[in-house]
């Protein structure tokens, strides 16, 4: 999914936020990412900016509070963010965590789509955070394990 700067600006304004350059940059980055990103990955992928890392962090938190960048994975105790057009857009699919490089990848929702149940608990379940782990294809190819 990609988001133009203009679309990012209107998404921010629609949530009552000012469309400042750090917010637009972080939102465009998250929308273009194929996997959830931690704060340090956001910094790394943004590259050099006119503002400092603390500003990026504050804006990431703002986006999270506004529901535009929910934390969709807490693998290994690290918050990872993803762009959400709507609140229900929050990565309701399993994630894969690599034990070697630590990256978190999105897996097809079909993997857990059959996790349905009937009975008194059915109405209680509002979401799932399924996490699978192992060595990612890159680490398997390069790590010689
Ligand atoms: Zn890996
Ligand atoms: Zn995901």
The pLDDT value given to residue 100: 93
The pLDDT value given to residue 107: 93
pLDDT tens by residue, the chain, 145 residues = 789 999 999 999 999 999 999 999 999 999 999 999 999 999 999 999 999 999 999 999 999 999 999 999 998 899 999 999 876 667 888 999 999 999 999 999 888 777 777 888 888 877 777 899 999 999 999 864 4
Report the separation in Å between the CA atom of 29 and the middle of ligand 1, taken as the mean of its atom positions.
21
The pLDDT value given to residue 142: 85
Report the separation in Å between the CA atom of 93 and the middle of ligand 1, taken as the mean of its atom positions.
19
The pLDDT value given to residue 87: 63
Report the separation in Å between the CA atom of 106 and the middle of ligand 2, taken as the mean of its atom positions.
4
136, with CB counted inside 10 A (0-12, 13-18, 19+), is buried
**May I ask the CATH class of domain 5-85?**
mainly alpha
pTM score of the predicted model? 0.83
Domain locations in the chain? 5-85, 92-143
Report the separation in Å between the CA atom of 35 and the middle of ligand 1, taken as the mean of its atom positions.
13
b vs e for 76-108, b when ≥16 Cβ sit within 10 Å of the residue's Cβ? eebbbbbbbeeeeeebebbbbbbeeeebbbbee
The pLDDT value given to residue 112: 78
The pLDDT value given to residue 9: 97
CATH number for the region 92-143 comes to 3.30.1490.190
């Amino acid at each position: 999914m990609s988001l133009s700067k203009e679309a990012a600006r209107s998404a921010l304004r629609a949530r009552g936020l000012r469309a400042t350059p750090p917010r637009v940059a972080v939102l465009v980055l998250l929308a273009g990412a194929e996997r959830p990103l931690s704060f340090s990955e956001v910094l790394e992928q943004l590259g050099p900016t006119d503002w400092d890392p603390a500003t990026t962090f504050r804006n990431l938190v703002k986006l999270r509070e506004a529901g535009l960048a929910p934390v969709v994975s807490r693998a290994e105790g690290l918050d990872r963010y993803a762009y959400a057009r709507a609140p229900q857009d929050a990565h309701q699919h399993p994630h894969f965590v690599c034990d070697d490089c630590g990256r978190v990848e999105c897996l097809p929702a079909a993997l857990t789509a059959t996790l349905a149940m009937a009975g008194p608990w059915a109405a209680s379940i509002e979401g799932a955070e399924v996490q699978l782990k192992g060595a990612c294809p890159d680490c398997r190819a390069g790590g010689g394990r």
